[in-house]
Amino acid sequence: MLQTAFHFPSLRGGTTKQSVLNKRLPRFARNDVRVGLCLLICCFIKIAFAQVVQQNIPALDVKNGINKFKLCSFYDIHKANLKETPAQKDTRIKWYTYTGTDVPTVFEYKVKQLNLGYYKNKLYKIIVLFDETQDLKTTDIKNKLILIFGDGKYQQNGVDAKQPDEKDVWETTKVYLSFDVGRKEISISTYSKIIEKQIILDEL
């Protein structure tokens, strides 16, 4: 019958009784066991540290986009379903309309159009335009955004008709997102502040 008890070294540097491990295993095998235990402990420490770091990352940075579209991702990922559109005010950005049919809704509301803006082949901005012909409840959309990202900053603009009448804004050092409710359009837009900084640096 095999003995199962293990005896560990005493604080004085010796052992009170030779362990079964030392009896049964050659020295090189005992070293392998110790190395394995050390690696296992290191793995547990890394996992615990990663969980703590993840908890401290803002939800907006974790999401980093809308649906399957991730800010700073490369153009090639979606190029098969992109149709180039005329340049807007900022000619540095290349704009495309997403022609795929796999993103028909956002928050269960129909999407009229999905526009993607790229800078140097990296996704800089995403604009989701909702279909206004449906029963669109803006309060519902806003509440869902608050549930995900927390309270945003409310802004109202009734002076310039070209600007949205009201919007709610969420932002971190990396990502900006806004829910715009205008007279003609209702949209969610987000952009990468990392690429925004790169655009400014490229002008220097």
- Written as tens digits, the pLDDT of the chain (204 aa) is 444 444 445 444 444 444 554 555 565 555 666 666 767 776 666 665 445 444 578 999 999 999 999 999 999 999 999 999 987 777 889 999 999 999 999 999 999 999 999 999 999 999 999 999 999 999 999 999 999 999 999 988 766 656 558 999 999 999 999 999 988 899 999 999 999 999 999 988
Could you tell me the residue range of the domain that residue 28 belongs to?
20-56
Residues 52 and 65 in one domain: no
Backbone angles phi, psi at 151, to 5 degrees: -65, 135
Residues 95 and 171 in one domain: yes
Name the DSSP class of 158.
-
What domain count does the chain have? 2
In a domain, 121, yes or no: yes
Provide the b/e sequence for 70-79 (b: ≥16 CB within 10 Å): ebbbebeebe
Residues 81 and 127 in one domain: yes
Whether the pTM exceeds 0.75: the reply is no
Provide the b/e sequence for 180-202 (b: ≥16 CB within 10 Å): bbeeeebbbbbbbeebeebeeee
Residues 41 and 83 in one domain: no
Residues 101 and 117 in one domain: yes
**Count of C-beta atoms within a 10 Å radius of residue 65:** 17
Q: Which pLDDT score is estimated for 56? A: 75
Cβ(29)–Cβ(22) below 8 Å = no
Residues 177 and 105 in one domain: yes
